[in-house]
Structure 1
């Protein structure tokens, strides 16, 4: 059974992001999730700002995507750990988004990412939404993303396995994407690649999920760029100091030979 929002026949007055819960009251599953989201957002912001000169895009980090109206309301949402939606404003009516409501905007995320904390069965659950009278099955997360929310790319990141599994939506079905020769997964619409980077970030040495450009260059965070610029400036100062030392040695040699060097 394929399920989709009936956007033409939705009743007027359906709630918007200001009227829907922004949390279901559950805890973030581990300390690594928030730094991982920040790392992804920080390092790709310069790319998105170049693509969206008008600033029309939004990024959700552990935010709800409402895809159906239920009771209680929060049961009608999935909360991906990270997602990006192109060509929508970051605020609505002057307010920061509390959630992303599919029946109000109809624009699907380009990429949606889940960070696995358990064994990954929840993120790969393909159980369909089936109704029988007033009873219905609970739809699996994978099924909801594939059949209702429709991100162009869906990534399942497992830090414990140092791996990411990427799916591409083709003709309304997710197809597993093969890694390129760098072990990365291209996202052509953004001109970037997604992959695993082993390194230190926010005081934790882990296999982090990160972006590269299409030439295989790691996209740096703001602090990494500042550190790189500082290192380059320091290297230039060291080269200038060495050049000055060599010049002074040459002057000393000329003087010892009775030649006064010109400045």
Structure 2
């Protein structure tokens, strides 16, 4: 009996009739900025890591159900397909990427989004490890930030903001982003330090360069002052080794 050839082919559902984009703008100004802040800072700070983070992109977990569209998601160890204009590559199809995202964020703008109801249940069903609800004006509860971790088949709310499975934390940060001051949801490291955006990294680099230049200038000024004092004492500073 001859050996049976192994194949890596797998069944890929037909997605030609699925609606992957509807071009309907629904976000408010804060949510739009918040989404960009979260995605851009992650790409600026996680250079060298393989991941995909997007906002308002549909997650298809079944061809028989409409997608769920989180404000932000993060999926580790995956990257966009090379030809992302093809219909089968335009959204996050769970069967194509081989897993759901590890983390999703919903930003509450009203009481109709079902962030603590239907959406929470769907994310649990598709096995998203962490579900984060940012409620900046406290529409749903007294807490502006709620973090849920999947344990078994259901979510449990956790008090800590460090997400061990993704090596990432979240925190509320009061500051200015793109000229707007507010309390923003930010990524952070284990020590609570925020992950900076590209602009913040550039500003920090400029600050370090300015401080280094100031220190060098101050050292030069002190050297000149010392040399002048030595000359006043009749000592030639150039002869001192």
Please point out which of 34, 37, 41 is paired with 2:35. Answer: 37
Q: 1:88 to 1:243 in 2, by over 3 A?
A: closer
Q: Which residue of 1 aligns with 2:119?
A: 141
| Displacement after TM superposition at 1:102 (Å) | 2.7
Tell whether 2:193 aligns with 1:217.
yes
Shift of 1:211: 1.0
> 1:49/1:251 Cα in 2 relative to 1: closer, same or farther (>3 Å)?
closer
Q: What is the CA–CA distance in structure 1 between the aligned matches of 2:235 and 2:45, rounded to whole Å?
A: 58
Aligned equivalents of 2:204, 2:94: Cα separation in 1: 41
Q: CA deviation at 1:206?
A: 1.0
**Aligned residue-pair number:** 222
Which ranges in structure 1 are unaligned for 5 or more consecutive residues?
1-11, 126-139, 180-184
Structure 2 vs 1, CA of residues 20 and 223 (structure 1 numbering), >3 Å: closer, same or farther? same
Counterpart in 1 of 2:14?
15
Q: How far apart are 1:19 and its partner, in Å?
A: 5.2
Q: What per-residue deviation string (whole Å, max 9, x for no partner) do you get for residues 97-140 of structure 1?
A: 42112344440110011011013762111xxxxxxxxxxxxxx2
Corresponding position of 1:252: 228
CA deviations on 1:16-60 (whole Å, 9 max, x unpaired) are 3x65323234323201223212211222225644443xxxx3222
Residue 64 of structure 1 deviates from its aligned partner by 0.7
**CA–CA distance in structure 2, aligned partners of residues 156 and 59 of structure 1:** 17
TM-score, normalized by length of structure 1?
A: 0.76
Question: In 2, distance between residues paired with 1:23 and 1:177?
Answer: 34
Corresponding position of 1:160: 137
CA distance in 2, matches of 1:87, 1:254: 64
- Kept in 2: contact 1:159–1:206 (CA 8 A): no
* Mapping of residues 117-196 of structure 1, within 5 Å: 117-119=109-111, 122-125=114-117, 140-147=118-125, 149-161=126-138, 163-179=144-160, 185-196=161-172
Question: CA separation of 1:25/1:236 partners in 2, compared to 1, >3 Å: closer, same or farther?
Answer: closer
Partner of residue 7, structure 2: none
Secondary structure of 1:95's counterpart equals coil
Match of residue 101 from structure 2:
109
* Residue 206 (structure 2) aligned to one of 218, 230, 241: 230
The match for 2:84 is 95
Normalising by structure 2, we get a TM-score of 0.83
